C-alpha cells in the first residue's frame, strides 16, 4: 500500500502513473493541435492527428478529475517544499490543474448548448439540441488560446523541474516523481 500512495519523500505509484501517462497523452494532444494550426486543411497527417483530438481531450478531462481526487486524498502526505519557492511551485501546479480542467471544460460546455451534441468513441454523451444556446458556447471561443497557454505553462514546468531542480540545484525534486 505504501508504494501506491504518496509520502513526504516521494510520489507513490498511482500519482506517477497518472503524471507520466498524462504527460505522454498531453504531448499527443498538443501534436494534434499543432497539426491543426500549422498544416493545410486537406493534409493527410493533419487529418490523422486531428482524428483523435476530441476523444483524447475527453479522456484527459476524465483523467484530470481522477488525478485531482487522488491529489486531495494524498494532500497532507505529498512531498512539499518550504519557503517562497515551495509556494510558487504550489501555485504553478494549481494553475496547471485549472487549465487542464478549463481547456476541455469549455468545449464540453459548448457541446451542452450545441445542435451537434458530443460523442465519445462513437457513444453519444450529449444529445444534439434543436436550437443553440449562445452563452454556453461563448467561452469555447477561447479554447485554442487557453490550450496554447497551457502548453506554455507546461514548458515552464519542465524547465523548472529539469533546468532548475535537476541541472542547477540537483536537489532530488525530479527524482521524487521520476526516480
Ligand atoms: C486537455 C485537452 C485539450 C487540449 C490541450 C486542447 C488543445 C487545443 C488547442 C491548442 C487548439 C488550437 C488549435 C489551433 O490553433 O488550430 C484546439 C482546438 C480545438 N479543440 Fe481542443 N483541446 C483539448 C480538448 C478538446 C476537447 C475535449 C474538444 C471537444 C469536445 C476539443 C475540440 C477542439 C476543436 C473543435 C478545436 C478547433 C476550434 C478551436 O480552436 O477552438 N478540444 N484544442
Ligand atoms: C517531461 C515532462 C515533465 C517533467 C520532467 C515533469 C516533472 C515533474 C516533477 C519533478 C514534479 C514534482 C514536483 C514537486 O514535487 O514539487 C511534477 C509534478 C507535477 N507535474 Fe510534471 N513534469 C512533466 C510534465 C507534466 C505535464 C505535461 C503536466 C500537465 C499538463 C504536468 C503537471 C504536473 C503537476 C500538476 C504536478 C504536481 C503533482 C501532481 O498533482 O501530479 N507535468 N512534474
Structural domain count of the chain: 1
Residue 1 is predicted with a pLDDT of 52
44 within a domain of the structure (yes/no): yes
Q: Where are the strands (E) in 86-131, listed by range?
A: 118-120, 123-126
In tens, the pLDDT along 56-106 reads 999 999 999 999 999 999 999 999 989 999 999 999 999 999 999 999 999
Instruction: Answer whether 54 contacts ligand 1 (Cβ < 6 A).
Output: yes
Instruction: Answer whether 53 contacts ligand 1 (Cβ < 6 A).
Output: yes
The C-alpha atoms of residue 159 and residue 65 are separated, in whole angstroms, by 25
The C-alpha atoms of residue 54 and residue 48 are separated, in whole angstroms, by 13
Instruction: Answer whether 15 contacts ligand 1 (Cβ < 6 A).
Output: no
Find the 164 Cα to ligand 1 centroid distance in Å: 31
What is the average pLDDT across 14-21? 98
Q: Are 133 and 111 in contact (CB under 8 A)?
A: no
Find the 79 Cα to ligand 1 centroid distance in Å: 32
In tens, the pLDDT along 121-177 reads 999 999 999 999 999 999 999 999 999 999 999 999 999 999 999 999 999 999 999
Q: Ligand 2 pocket test: which of 56, 89, 152, 157 has the largest number of ligand atoms within 8 Å of its C-beta?
A: 157
6 within a domain of the structure (yes/no): no
For residue 124, the cross-strand partners are 119
Residue 179 is predicted with a pLDDT of 80
7 within a domain of the structure (yes/no): no
25 within a domain of the structure (yes/no): yes
3 within a domain of the structure (yes/no): no
Name the 3-class secondary structure at 41: coil
The C-alpha atoms of residue 70 and residue 136 are separated, in whole angstroms, by 29
Which of ligand 2's atoms lies nearest the C-alpha of 86? 16
32 within a domain of the structure (yes/no): yes
Residue showing cell 493534409? 43
Q: Are 50 and 36 in contact (CB under 8 A)?
A: yes
4 within a domain of the structure (yes/no): no
Q: Are 78 and 71 in contact (CB under 8 A)?
A: yes
**Structural domain of 22:** 13-178
Confidence at 2, pLDDT banded by 50, 70, 90? low
Q: pTM of the predicted model, to two decimals?
A: 0.97
What is the average pLDDT across 10-28? 98
Confidence at 14, pLDDT banded by 50, 70, 90? very high
144 within a domain of the structure (yes/no): yes
Amino acid at each position: 500500500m505504501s508504494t501506491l500512495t504518496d509520502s513526504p519523500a516521494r510520489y507513490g505509484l498511482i500519482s506517477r502513473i497518472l503524471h507520466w501517462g498524462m504527460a505522454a497523452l498531453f504531448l499527443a494532444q498538443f501534436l494534434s493541435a499543432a497539426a491543426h494550426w500549422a498544416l493545410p486543411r486537406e493534409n493527410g497527417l493533419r487529418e490523422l492527428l486531428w482524428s483523435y483530438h476530441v476523444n483524447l481531450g475527453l479522456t484527459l478531462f476524465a483523467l484530470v478529475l481522477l488525478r485531482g481526487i487522488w491529489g486531495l486524498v494524498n494532500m497532507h502526505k505529498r512531498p512539499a517544499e518550504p519557503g517562497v519557492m515551495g509556494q510558487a511551485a504550489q501555485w504553478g501546479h494549481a494553475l496547471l490543474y485549472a487549465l487542464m480542467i478549463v481547456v476541455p471544460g469549455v468545449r464540453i460546455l459548448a457541446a451542452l448548448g450545441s445542435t451537434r451534441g458530443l460523442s465519445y468513441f462513437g457513444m453519444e454523451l450529449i444529445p444534439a439540441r434543436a436550437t443553440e444556446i449562445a452563452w454556453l458556447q461563448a467561452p469555447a471561443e477561447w479554447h485554442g488560446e487557453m490550450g496554447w497557454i497551457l502548453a506554455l505553462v507546461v514548458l515552464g514546468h519542465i524547465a523548472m523541474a529539469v533546468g532548475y531542480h535537476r541541472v542547477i540545484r540537483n536537489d532530488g525534486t525530479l527524482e521524487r516523481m521520476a526516480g
